[in-house]
């Protein structure tokens, strides 16, 4: 896809908070080209032909060869090699296209987990950190699916605190091998993987190192499949390394670089998980919409009831919003990559740098995508009513499978903490100027309020002002919290959660507004009526949620006059002209109901 | 061997059908178009034959305006070698068949495959007319097609069973499942579709003598009236007096 690299490359990660982004700077999903649309259809067809008829068999795990055979089929279609460069047997597609594949396959329940673990955390550590020999040896076989990969980071006592793992690697007496001993758990694809990316500490190192371990090295044993609430068909094992001899040349990157690898690979994993959740949400909502059109009560389809319309519209709006933010960020990542490569950087390094640059957005999107999915499947169950609770209906699997997404790739709590932590670190390093905008907000707080009367007319003028104010509200609360707690802010996780919520809502609401503004520019306002309603619904509800989070934070740390002043400021910065959301939601729902699916 | 596969560009099976311009035009707004599902089977069988027989080429042909090209490229992605688009609205079966026959004459294909019918107008006669125009046997609906030198063994669906036939090449076949498993294009195919030749030719003039007057949607279903199973008399009365079908 052609991109105007020069202008867009200037956008920095996290900068959305302090910089107004213009609609022409964002990529919108409506701009996917014919080839990308064909890839989208290819993935949909794959699910329809190979996965959906076998969902029960996949989940039953009776045939341990079924999942790897489906992975082989995906490999034959090229779905495992989208991100792999052509010279290593892949298709060298941009990040945005690989997101599209992740999104559609995201509707594939347990299979989606197997595929994303293989192509993401399984393959990318070697692709991004491997030396030439390692890449040549492993990547082509991973890109076709001949070898399948798993990622072994988590241990029984080391989950969110990943660097605390106890698995040890000791250099053998002849200096030819590392001997790995330890236990890993929750290993996706563990049962059938040929290659494991294993994190272990060499001797008494402080930080982890990463190793490429072939199952055939020996010393690898595993427990039975874990019994799980959802994604029952995804192989999840505990894996034991008992004197597993790994050739020294299989150390990935440098000694003690493992934690950095783990963290950086998770950046990709997070945004991909988020977009896969968007794909899962679209599928679940479409299923629920179809049911609501078929199910009759009181003589009419239940989709004709306002209470059901509300659910459909709210889920559709959140999905649309999350999708807007995901592809905005993924294009930013592609643009940053192109700029780094143009500047002479090696491709793998450029990919990592680009992802690292937008790590804040990746964490935001992981949280948002997974929570939209949970919201959607919950309302999906509700729309199905009694049948939603039946294990025979489709919502049962959707509901159970969704839940893990708020837990893996860093829990949503960890990711919320990370967004604020990364933002503050960048501010302290001086790479992101939060200080001046925060001080400007403080100054504004002391000045005579602007009563909101804007003379300007035009598309989204008021909404953009509301959005700018929403960011100010976030800066105000964050600034005050930092002043209050200084270095001890990290102990105030409740406040950090509130701040993260404000940040997430701001980013997603802005992305949605920019998408619709750009779309209106391309197609005219009349053709985008429904999308416009969704942007407005999202903005209004996002402001409400952010205001509530802000209030929780303020009342938890400010008292007396300071509290009063800040609450007044919050009110001022989250003030928005009232809008008939019921009517807006009805329009959105009616469109979906008429189409019989999520069709935006 | 040269195989021609004729594909139609039709609305996805789940599309909502609307008409505009006083019910004289199909409203393609918001409709997703696909390769006709029966044509998809024909294409899949052609690709299988190509894969099993070195030197075989598969050409796809569509009669349609420029906006059918994404559908044509999908066929190229699935594995056809090249494509021809006859630049015209496919107004009726005879018009389409005539365009296919004109092109086929200029090349000389050993096998002309297409779906048993398109799923928009469901005429189901194009293969028959093409056969007639080219002086070739034409068979439909073909569920099985095995090549055997200069002959082919076919299975055709007939009322209550199937008919096994042997036919000399060249011939025309209208295909349906299970002639082949439908194919999903692979990534390499998708990436190469753009680089494969897609020739656009102008249509020959045809006086088909048919013109479209207007479209009508099927009447909306009325409400259902439940009649108790032991009350046949009431059912008969209702059918006579209300439904007026007896």
pLDDT of A389 > 80? The answer is yes
pLDDT of A2 > 50? The answer is no
Rounded to whole angstroms, the Cα distance separating B197 from B195 reads: 7
Best of A30, A32, A35 to mutate (most B CBs within 10 Å, chain B): A35
**Binning pLDDT at 50, 70 and 90, where does residue A327 land?**
very high
Would A134 be classed as within a structural domain?
yes
Nearest by CB to residue A77, choosing from B182, B186, B193, is B186
A49 CB within 8 Å of a chain B CB: yes
CATH number (domain holding residue A341):
1.20.140.10
Q: A508 CB contacts (<8 Å, ≥6 apart)? A: A321, A322, A324, A325, A364, A368, A538, A542
> End of a domain among A198, A217, A252?
A252
Q: Which residues of A are catalytic?
A: 409
Global confidence as pTM: 0.93
* Whole-complex ipTM: 0.88
Is B185 close to A82, i.e. CB distance below 8 A?
A: no
**Binning pLDDT at 50, 70 and 90, where does residue A286 land?**
very high
Do A302 and A380 reside in the same domain of the chain? yes
Would A107 be classed as within a structural domain?
yes
Do A185 and A74 reside in the same domain of the chain? no
**Binning pLDDT at 50, 70 and 90, where does residue A376 land?**
very high
Would A421 be classed as within a structural domain?
no
How many structural domains are present in chain A? 4
Would A198 be classed as within a structural domain?
yes
> End of a domain among A103, A128, A148?
A148
CATH number (domain holding residue A198):
2.40.110.10
Do A585 and A438 reside in the same domain of the chain? yes
Nearest by CB to residue B74, choosing from A38, A76, A599, is A38
pLDDT in tens, A154-209: 999 998 888 899 999 999 999 999 999 999 999 999 999 999 999 999 999 999 99
Give me the pLDDT at residue A6, please: 44
- Mapped onto helix, strand or coil, the DSSP state of residue B224 is coil
pLDDT in tens, A401-442: 999 999 999 999 999 999 999 999 999 999 999 989 999 998
Would A64 be classed as within a structural domain?
yes
Rg (CA), chain B: 21
Q: Which of residues 8-37 of A touch B (CB under 8 A)?
A: 34-35, 37
What are the pLDDT tens digits along chain B (246 aa)? Answer: 999 999 999 999 888 888 999 999 999 888 999 999 999 999 999 999 999 999 999 999 999 999 999 999 999 999 999 999 999 999 999 999 999 999 999 999 999 999 999 999 899 999 999 999 999 999 999 999 999 999 999 999 899 999 999 999 999 999 999 999 999 999 999 999 999 999 999 999 998 788 889 999 888 877 788 888 899 999 999 999 988 888
> Which structure tokens are listed for A266?
């998770």
Give the HSE-up count for residue A288: Cα atoms under 13 Å, Cβ half-sphere. 32
Nearest CA in chain B to A41: B184
List the Cα angle A21/A268/A17 in 5-degree steps.
25
Nearest CA in chain A to B192: A35
What is the domain range of residue A284?
258-413
Q: How far is B136 from chain A (nearest CA, A)?
A: 35
Give me the pLDDT at residue A455, please: 64
Do A570 and A481 reside in the same domain of the chain? yes
List the Cα angle A133/A138/A139 in 5-degree steps.
100
Is A91 close to B70, i.e. CB distance below 8 A?
A: no
Would A420 be classed as within a structural domain?
no
Nearest by CB to residue A39, choosing from B14, B190, B194, is B190
pLDDT of A597 > 70? The answer is yes
Do A176 and A115 reside in the same domain of the chain? no
Would A425 be classed as within a structural domain?
no
Do A9 and A68 reside in the same domain of the chain? yes
DSSP single-letter state for residue A208: -
Would A418 be classed as within a structural domain?
no
Rounded to whole angstroms, the Cα distance separating B176 from B115 reads: 6
pLDDT in tens, A19-43: 999 999 999 999 999 999 999 999 9
Give B-chain residues touching A596 at CB under 8 angstroms.
14, 16
Angle at which helices A258-294 and A359-384 cross, to 10°: 30
Do A245 and A267 reside in the same domain of the chain? no
pLDDT of A542 > 50? The answer is yes
What is the share, in percent, of chain A residues with pLDDT greater than 90? Answer: 92
Asked if residues A148 and A194 have their Cβ atoms less than 8 Å apart, the reply is yes
Is A35 close to B14, i.e. CB distance below 8 A?
A: no
pLDDT of A537 > 90? The answer is yes
Give me the pLDDT at residue A453, please: 59
Q: Which of residues 55-94 of A touch B (CB under 8 A)?
A: 76-79, 81-82, 91
Average pLDDT over residues A209-223: 97
Best of A33, A37, A41 to mutate (most B CBs within 10 Å, chain B): A41
Q: Spell A323-354 as b/e; 16+ CB within 10 A means b.
A: bbbbbbbbbbbbbbbbbbbeeebeebebbbbb
Do A43 and A190 reside in the same domain of the chain? no
> End of a domain among A237, A252, A267?
A252
Give me the pLDDT at residue A217, please: 97
Q: How far is A34 from chain B (nearest CA, A)?
A: 7
Give B-chain residues touching A46 at CB under 8 angstroms.
184
Do A325 and A343 reside in the same domain of the chain? yes
pLDDT in tens, A134-154: 999 999 999 999 999 999 999
Rounded to whole angstroms, the Cα distance separating B111 from B27 reads: 35
pLDDT of A1 > 60? The answer is no
Q: How far is A301 from chain B (nearest CA, A)?
A: 13
- Alpha helices (runs of H) in B53-122, residue ranges in sequence order: 69-78, 93-107
What is the share, in percent, of chain A residues with pLDDT greater than 70? Answer: 97
Is B14 close to A596, i.e. CB distance below 8 A?
A: yes
CB pairs under 8 A between A and B: 47
Is A34 close to B70, i.e. CB distance below 8 A?
A: yes
Task: Provide the β-strand partners of residue A195.
Answer: A149, A214
A600 CB within 8 Å of a chain B CB: no
pLDDT of A324 > 60? The answer is yes
pLDDT of A54 > 80? The answer is yes
pLDDT of A11 > 90? The answer is no
Give me the pLDDT at residue B225, please: 82
Do A90 and A180 reside in the same domain of the chain? no
Give me the pLDDT at residue A440, please: 93
DSSP string computed for A278-328: HHHHHHHHHHHHHHHHH-EETTEEGGGSHHHHHHHHHHHHHHHHHHHHHHH
Residues of B near A (Cβ–Cβ under 8 Å) read 14, 16, 30, 70, 73-74, 77, 182, 184-188, 190-191, 193-194
CATH number (domain holding residue A144):
1.10.540.10
> Which structure tokens are listed for A343?
């500047």
DSSP string computed for B188-224: HHHHHHTTS-EEEEPPPP-----------PPPPP---
Do A122 and A234 reside in the same domain of the chain? no
What domains does chain B contain, in order, with CATH numbers? Answer: 2-218 (3.40.50.620)
Cβ neighbours, 10 Å, residue B122 = 10
Average pLDDT over residues A91-120: 96
Do A227 and A324 reside in the same domain of the chain? no
Is B73 close to A34, i.e. CB distance below 8 A?
A: yes
Nearest by CB to residue A45, choosing from B184, B188, B191, is B184
């Amino acid at each position: 896809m052609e991109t105007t690299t020069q202008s867009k490359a200037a956008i920095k990660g996290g900068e959305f908070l302090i910089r107004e982004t213009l609609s022409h700077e964002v990529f919108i999903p409506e701009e996917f080209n014919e080839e990308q649309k064909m890839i989208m259809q290819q993935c949909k067809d794959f699910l329809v032909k190979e996965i959906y008829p076998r969902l029960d068999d996949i989940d039953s795990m009776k045939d341990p060869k079924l999942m790897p055979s489906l992975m082989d089929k995906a490999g034959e279609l090229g779905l495992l090699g989208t991100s792999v460069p052509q010279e290593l047997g892949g298709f060298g597609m941009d990040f945005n296209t690989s997101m599209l594949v992740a999104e559609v396959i995201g509707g594939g329940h347990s299979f989606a987990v197997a595929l994303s673990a293989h192509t993401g955390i399984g393959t990318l550590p070697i692709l991004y950190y491997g030396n030439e020999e390692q890449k040549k040896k492993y990547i082509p076989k991973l890109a076709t699916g001949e070898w399948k990969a798993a990622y072994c980071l988590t241990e029984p006592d080391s989950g969110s605190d990943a660097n605390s793992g106890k698995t040890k690697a000791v250099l053998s007496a002849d200096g030819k091998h590392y001997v790995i001993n330890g236990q890993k758990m929750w290993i996706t694809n563990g049962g059938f993987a040929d290659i494991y990316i294993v994190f272990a500490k060499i001797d008494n190192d402080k930080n982890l190192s990463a190793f490429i371990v072939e199952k055939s090295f020996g010393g690898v044993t595993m427990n039975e499949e874990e019994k799980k609430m959802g994604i029952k068909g995804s192989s999840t094992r505990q894996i034991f390394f008992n004197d597993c001899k790994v050739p020294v040349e299989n150390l990935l990157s440098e000694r003690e670089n493992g934690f950095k690898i783990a963290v950086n690979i998770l950046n990709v994993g997070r945004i991909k998980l988020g977009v896969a959740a968007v794909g899962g949400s679209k599928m679940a909502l479409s299923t629920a919409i179809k049911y609501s059109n078929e199910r009759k009560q009181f003589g009419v389809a239940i989709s004709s009831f306002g209470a059901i319309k509300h659910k459909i519209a709210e889920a559709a709006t959140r999905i649309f919003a999350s999708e807007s933010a995901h592809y905005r960020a993924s294009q930013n990542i592609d643009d940053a990559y192109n700029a780094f490569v143009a500047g002479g950087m090696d491709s793998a390094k450029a990919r990592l740098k680009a992802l690292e640059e937008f790590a804040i957005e990746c964490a935001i999107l992981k949280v948002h995508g997974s929570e939209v999915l949970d919201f959607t499947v919950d309302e999906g169950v509700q729309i199905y009513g009694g049948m939603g609770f039946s294990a025979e209906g489709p919502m049962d699997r959707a509901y159970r499978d969704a839940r893990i997404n708020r837990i893996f790739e860093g829990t949503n709590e960890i990711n919320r903490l990370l967004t604020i932590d990364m933002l503050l670190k960048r501010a302290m390093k001086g790479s992101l100027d939060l200080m001046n905008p925060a001080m400007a907000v403080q100054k504004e707080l002391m000045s005579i309020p602007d009563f909101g009367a804007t003379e300007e007319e035009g598309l989204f003028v008021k909404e953009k002002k509301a959005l700018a104010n929403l960011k100010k509200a976030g800066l105000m609360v964050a600034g005050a919290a930092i002043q209050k707690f200084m270095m001890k802010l990290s102990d105030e996780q409740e406040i950090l959660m509130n701040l993260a919520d404000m940040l997430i809502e701001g980013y997603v609401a802005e992305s949605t507004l920019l998408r619709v503004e750009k779309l209106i520019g391309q197609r005219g306002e009349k053709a985008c009526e429904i999308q416009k309603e969704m942007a407005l619904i999202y903005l209004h509800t996002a402001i409400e949620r952010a205001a509530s989070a802000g209030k929780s934070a303020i009342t938890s740390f400010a008292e007396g006059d300071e509290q009063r002043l800040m609450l007044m400021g919050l009110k001022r910065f989250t003030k928005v002209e009232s809008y008939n959301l019921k009517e807006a939601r009805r329009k959105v729902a009616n469109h979906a109901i008429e189409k019989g699916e999520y069709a935006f | 061997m040269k195989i021609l596969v004729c594909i139609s560009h039709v609305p996805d099976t789940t599309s909502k059908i609307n008409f505009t311009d006083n019910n004289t035009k199909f409203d393609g707004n918001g409709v997703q178009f696909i390769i006709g599902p029966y044509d998809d089977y024909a294409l899949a069988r052609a690709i299988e034959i190509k894969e099993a027989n070195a030197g075989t080429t598969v050409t796809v042909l569509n009669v349609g305006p420029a906006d059918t090209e994404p559908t044509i490229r999908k066929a190229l992605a699935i594995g056809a070698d090249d494509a021809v688009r006859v630049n015209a609205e496919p107004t009726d079966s005879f018009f389409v068949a005539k365009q296919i026959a004109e092109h086929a004459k200029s090349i000389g294909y050993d096998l002309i495959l297409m779906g048993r019918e398109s799923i928009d107008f469901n005429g189901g006669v194009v293969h028959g007319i093409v056969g007639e125009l080219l002086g070739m046997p034409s068979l439909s609906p073909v569920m099985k097609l095995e090549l055997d030198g200069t002959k082919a063994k076919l299975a055709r669906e007939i009322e209550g069973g199937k008919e096994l036939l042997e036919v000399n090449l060249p011939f025309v076949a209208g295909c349906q499942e299970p002639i082949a498993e439908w194919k999903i294009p692979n990534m390499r195919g998708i990436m190469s579709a753009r680089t494969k030749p897609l020739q656009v030719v102008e249509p020959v003039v045809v006086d088909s003598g048919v013109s479209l007057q207007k479209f009508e949607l099927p009447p909306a279903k009325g409400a259902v009236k439940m009649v108790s199973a032991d009350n046949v008399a009431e059912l008969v009365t209702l059918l006579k007096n209300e439904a007026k079908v007896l």
